[in-house]
Structure 1
Amino acid sequence: MPDKWQDKLTEEEYRVTRQAGTERPFTGVLLNETRDGIYICKCCGAQLFSADTKFDAGCGWPSFYDQLADSNVGFREDSSHGMVRTEIFCSQCDAHLGHVFPDGPAPTGQRYCVNSRSMDFTAQQGDTVKG
């Protein structure tokens, strides 16, 4: 029997957010998003990241050096695929977002590597695509 997330999400969004999947690098629709705004959880709408903290890490996924609100992004150890990493997830609904690595820019030194399929983007009103 399908759960509430299967009814709300596409098959790929479900695989990423509810089954801790990963989208292929350089395929996410939010990778090259440059407008000002807020990145929110695809599942529940929790505010996760500000466009002000987004940077091009060259890794193939949207990357941020800080989370918007400490209470909205959680952390847990992920020892899948023969390595130990720190998974990031939405604290409000437990959606898998991606992983965080200690190789980001100042001021935090963190790189939140996030699947586009785990987020939606809300542009700041009046902002246009930056060229």
Structure 2
Amino acid sequence: MTTSNEQFAVNKTEQEWREILTPEQFHVLRKHGTERAGTSPLDKVYEPGIYKCSGCGTPLFKSETKFNSGTGWPSFYAPIDGAIATTVDRSLFMTRVEVHCATCGGHLGHVFPDGPAPTGQRYCMNGVSLEFVPAES
């Protein structure tokens, strides 16, 4: 599965994406891959800051919405308004809601209805799709 560029503000060819992303980032962001659970150092980051799309730099999540889901992937209960888009993913013999960057269309992960208050949502993100930018002190 690939992500179409047509409906996004940031559009690059497959070769242009390959030139700016690591092989793992390309696999996840552009080919809808999934990193292995527990492999992202961002899963255990709880400092104040912003999580941006590692493909285009769009701010996606604030650190105050991050929580430890115990899944092995960085999880959040809410994105920044307007930062993400969703589609229905029917791969792997199940139906899930796939989360994309609204700016470049990069695959970020999935959202599930088993998160904490106040939203009840768990945005389970691939750490390789994110870049953490610490808050300035």
Q: TM-score, normalised by structure 1?
A: 0.93
Equivalences for residues 78-117 of structure 1 within 5 A: 78-117=89-128
1:59-116 Cα deviation digits (max 9, x unpaired): 11000000012x1100100000110000000010000000000000000000000000
In 2: Cα distance, 1:16 partner to 1:23 partner: 7
Q: Where has structure 1 moved over 6 Å in runs of 4 or more?
A: none
User: AA paired with 2:123?
Assistant: Y
Letter of the 1:14 partner, please give it: F
Question: Structure 2 unaligned runs (5+)?
Answer: 1-12
Per the TM alignment, residue 2 of structure 1 is displaced from its structure 2 partner at its CA by: 5.5
**Where do residues 31-70 of structure 1 align in structure 2 (5 Å cutoff)?**
31-69=43-81
Distance in 2, Cα, partners of 1:77 & 1:29: 28
In structure 1, runs of 5+ residues without a counterpart are 127-131
Tell me the amino acid that sits aligned with residue 109 of structure 1.
G
1:30 maps to 42
User: d(CA) in 1 for partners of 2:121 and 2:110?
Assistant: 10
Q: Deviations over 1:18-70 (max 9, x none)?
A: 0000000010121111110000000111110000000000011000000012x
Number of aligned residues: 125
Alignment identity in percent? Answer: 46
Is 1:121 the equivalent of 2:125? no
Shift of 1:121: 0.6
